[in-house]
Amino acid sequence: MEHYNMSLNLKVWRQNNSRDKGYFEDYKVDGISSEMSFLEMFDVLNERLITEGKEPIAFDHDCREGICGMCSMYINGKPHGPWKSNTVCQLHMRAYKDGDTIVVEPWRANAFPVIKDLMVDRSAFDRIVQAGGYISVNTGNAVDGNSMPIEKDKADASFAAAMCIGCGACVAACKNSSAMLFLSAKVAHLALLPQGEPERKKRVVSMVAQMDKEGFGACTNTGACEATCPKDISLSNIARLNQEYLIASLTADK
Amino acid sequence: MGLTGIFLITFLIVHMGINACMWAAVYFPDDHGEMFNKAANFMGSMVLIRIIEVGLFLFIFLHIIQGYMLTVYNRSKRAVGYAVDYGSKGSKWYSRSMGLLGTLILLFLIIHWLHFWIPSRFTGVEEVEYSGVKMHNMFALMQTTFQQLWVVILYVLGCISLGYHLAHGFQSAFKTLGVHNKRYQIMLSGLGYGFSIVVPFVFAMMPISMYLGWVK
Ligand code: HEM
Ligand code: SF4
Ligand code: FES
C-alpha cells in the first residue's frame, strides 16, 4: 500500500474524573502517517499536548497487539473503529484519508464509569470472572495432554470462546449495555471441556448473579455485540449460556 | 419473555385457523359465514377453551408487563449516551424496537377487543340459527366492522407491526430458551421469518377481503 501523510480533525471526549460532566474537545493533528496505528496517532497528539504544557489525553492500552483487551475507544460510532474483527491498537491510519473528522468517545455504560477521558473502569468484568470463571478443583501435576480425550468440535468451540479478551466492546455496542456476549464466552469455554465440569452449575449461576449486580442490562438478542467483537465471539454462545443457566438454576444443589 | 412469546405464537396459529374459516364463504356460495360462525362458536362453547382463555389473558398481560419492565430496565443502564450512534451494525431496526412494536400491537389489540371480544362476551352480538342452534353471528359483525376504511387500514398496520415483532421475537424466544444447535438455529430462523410473513399476511387479508367484498 502507498504511504501517505494526512491531517485530521479529532473530536475527543475529555473528562477529569468520574464525577466531572465532560465535554468534547477539537484537535487538529498534522503529519499523521498512514502506517501509524490509531494509538500512535494519540501518542503524537499527547507529546504535543505535553510540550504545550497541557493535560495529555488518558486512554487505556497495554499489549498493542490485539491480545490484552485494554484498548477501548468508541470511534465514529463503533467500538474499536471501522475494521471488522479488530482492536483499536491494531487499527491503522490507512483506514482514514486526509481531512477526515474522527469522533472518539469512551465506552458508555453505567457499569463502566469513566475514570478519565477515554479510560473507563472495567473492573466489573474482573468481579464477574472472580464469581466463578475459573477452576478451583485440585488438578495435581501437569498430565500428558492426550490423556484426556476431547472431541475436536468441542475443543474448537471452546477455543473460539476462550479468544475473548474481555475488552468490553460488546457492552459498549449493545443498546441494553448487556455483558452477555462476554459472560457467554467465559462460561462456554469452560462448560465445553471436562475440566469445567465439576463447577459447571455453580459457575454459571454465580457469574450471572454477579453480572446483574454490576448493573449491566439484559440481553434481547439483537446481535450488535457479535458485529463489533474484535475476536468474533459468536452470538450462539449466548444461547448456550441461556441453556447452561436454565438447567443449572433448575437443578443446582443450592 | 421467551415462554410467554411462544405461547402467544401458538395462540396466533389457532386464531388464524379459526378465522380462516371465513373464506369458506368464497368457495361455498351459500355458506355466508356459517362455517366461521360454527368454528367460533365451537371455540367459545368449549370449557377447555374458556380455561385456556384465562391463561391467554394472563400470558398477554405477563408478556406486556415483562416487556415494558425489560425496556425500562435496559434503557436505564446507559445514563450518558453516545454522540455518534452505533446504529444498525449487526442488528435490525425491528430487533431494537421491540418495545415500540409491542406498543403498536397493544393499541391494535385494545381496539380489536372493543370490536369483537367485548361484544361477543359482554354487550351481545346479533344471533343466527343453524339447524336449530342459535349462535353469535360474528361473521356479520366482522362484515359491518370492516366496512369502514380506517378500521381496515388500522388492522393492516396492526398486522405489519405484528409481523416485525415476530420477525425478531420468534427466533429470539428460542435463543432465550437456550437453543444453540446450529442446524436448529438455521431451521428456526427460517421458520421464524416464514411465520412472521405468512401469519400477519393471512390476518391482514381478512379485513381486506371483507372490505373489498370478496367474502359475502
Ligand atoms: C386482522 C386480523 C384479525 C381478525 C380479523 C381477527 C378477528 C377476531 C375475531 C372475530 C375475534 C372474536 C372471536 C370470538 O370471540 O368469537 C377475535 C378475538 C381475539 N383476537 Fe383477533 N383477529 C385478528 C388478528 C389478531 C391478532 C394479530 C391478535 C394478536 C395476538 C389477535 C388477538 C385476539 C385476541 C386476544 C382475541 C380474544 C380471543 C378470546 O376470545 O379469548 N387477533 N379476533
Ligand atoms: S466478547 Fe468480544 S467484545 Fe466482548 S469482551 Fe470479549 S472480546 Fe471484547
Ligand atoms: S492494547 Fe492490548 S488489545 Fe489493544
Domain A123-250: give its CATH code.
1.10.1060.10
**Whose Cα sits closest to atom 6 in ligand 2?**
A164
- With vertex at residue A202, the alpha carbon angle to CA A200 and CA A206, rounded to the nearest 5 degrees, is 125
Is the separation of the CB atoms in A125 and A216 below 8 Å? no
User: What DSSP state is assigned to residue A37?
Assistant: B
Cell of B37: 360462525
The class level of CATH for A5-105 reads alpha beta
Instruction: List pocket residues of ligand 2, CB cut-off 6 Å.
Output: A 164-170, 181-182, 185, 229-231, 233
DSSP run (H or E) holding B134: strand B133-136
What does the CA dihedral A158, A159, A162, A163 come to, rounded to 10 degrees? Answer: -140
Residues 112-171 of A with CB under 8 A from B: none
Q: What is the mean pLDDT of residues B123-151?
A: 88
Average pLDDT over residues A48-60: 97
Domain borders along chain A are: 5-105, 123-250
Q: What gap in Å lies between CA B184 and CA B180, rounded to an integer?
A: 7
Confidence of residue B124 (pLDDT cuts 50, 70, 90): confident
Q: Is residue B110 pLDDT above 90, yes or no?
A: yes
Burial class (CB in 10 A: 0-12, 13-18, 19+), A207: buried
Say which amino acid occupies B110.
Answer: I
Each residue of B163-188: pLDDT tens digit?
999 999 999 999 999 998 889 989 99
In chain B, domain spans = 2-73+95-212
pLDDT tens per residue, range A127-145:
999 999 999 888 788 888 7
A74-75/A119-120 β-pairing: unpaired
User: Is the model's pLDDT at A44 over the cut of 70?
Assistant: yes
Cα-to-chain-centroid distance, residue A40: 20
Residue B58, amino acid: L
Residue A1 has pLDDT above 80, yes or no: no
State pTM to two decimals: 0.88
Ligand 3 atom index nearest CA of A66:
3
Residue A60 has pLDDT above 90, yes or no: yes
ipTM of the modeled complex: 0.88
Q: What is the mean pLDDT of residues B154-161?
A: 96
The model's confidence at residue A184, banded by pLDDT at 50, 70 and 90, is very high
At B3-27, the pLDDT tens digits run: 899 999 999 999 998 888 888 877 8
Is residue A111's pLDDT more than 90? yes
SS3 B59: helix
B82 chain-A contacts, CB cut-off 8 A: 74, 77, 105, 108
Q: How many beta carbons lie within 10 A of that of residue A4, not counting itself?
A: 13
